[in-house]
């Protein structure tokens, strides 16, 4: 609890440094397992939120079959625009705090990956959107971040809001404007199953942050 309390104070402090705000399972080879509200399974190469579903776990057997197919036909899983940030091999490093906030989605993805690879919840909190949160709102978020920091990261992929197939994510239709910018899909691994966590990306005061 001491760690959570001190980290919560630090996180809310980050939010106070910015103006007041205006006010997530599996993936491999570009394919991800989602589950719709009625329980139907959906497989897509886009974030589950783009098809109105939630991420669901994928068995290791299916993961291996997808990997095998992807190795035979890699072009079938490489139709994303060049502007996307794909980081398949995370390194256990993180930018210095003195470097400031993430100024691009790619930099944000690298920061998230680095923090998770290090298992450092304090560095992970630096990439979170805390502005406008009260202590009561921030506390459960901090608890989720502590759990997330213990996960094993495999990679991260940024999807621009304009790829939403009709789903309006950007506040003014332009990802460069303040507000919702897209989705950061973080792939997490386990012994027998892999899962992906979808985080909302927001551009705020010239920086990029994520939130649940």
Q: How far apart are CA 112 and CA 100, in angstroms?
A: 14
pLDDT tens digits, one per residue of 92-142: 788 888 889 999 999 999 999 999 999 999 999 999 999 999 999 999 999
SS3 57: coil
Q: How far apart are CA 59 and CA 64, in angstroms?
A: 9
Domains identified in the chain and CATH numbers: 2-23+83-211 (3.10.450)
Which burial class, exposed, middle or buried, applies to 3 when counting CB atoms under 10 A from its CB (0-12, 13-18, 19+)?
A: exposed
Residue 18: phi and psi, rounded to 5, are -115, 160
pLDDT tens digits, one per residue of 126-183: 999 999 999 999 999 999 999 999 999 998 999 997 665 444 433 334 445 688 899 9
């Amino acid at each position: 609890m001491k760690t959570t309390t001190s980290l919560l104070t630090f996180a809310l402090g980050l939010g106070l440094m910015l103006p007041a705000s205006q006010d997530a399972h599996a993936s491999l080879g570009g394919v991800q397992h989602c589950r719709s509200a009625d329980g139907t399974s959906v497989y897509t190469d886009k974030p589950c939120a783009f098809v109105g579903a939630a991420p669901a776990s994928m068995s290791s057997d299916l993961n291996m079959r997808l990997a095998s197919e992807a190795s035979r036909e890699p072009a079938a899983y490489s139709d994303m625009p060049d502007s996307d940030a794909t980081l398949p091999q995370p390194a256990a490093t993180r930018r210095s705090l003195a470097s400031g906030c993430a100024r691009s989605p790619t930099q944000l993805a690298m920061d998230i990956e680095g923090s998770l690879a290090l298992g450092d919840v304090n560095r992970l909190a630096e990439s979170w959107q805390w502005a406008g949160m009260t202590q009561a709102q921030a506390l459960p978020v901090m608890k989720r971040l502590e759990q997330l920091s213990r996960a094993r990261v495999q990679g991260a992929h940024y999807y621009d809001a304009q790829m939403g197939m009709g789903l309006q994510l950007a506040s003014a239709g332009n990802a460069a404007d303040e507000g919702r910018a897209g989705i950061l899909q973080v792939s997490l691994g386990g012994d027998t199953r892999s899962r992906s966590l979808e985080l909302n990306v927001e551009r705020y005061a010239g920086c990029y942050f994520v939130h649940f």
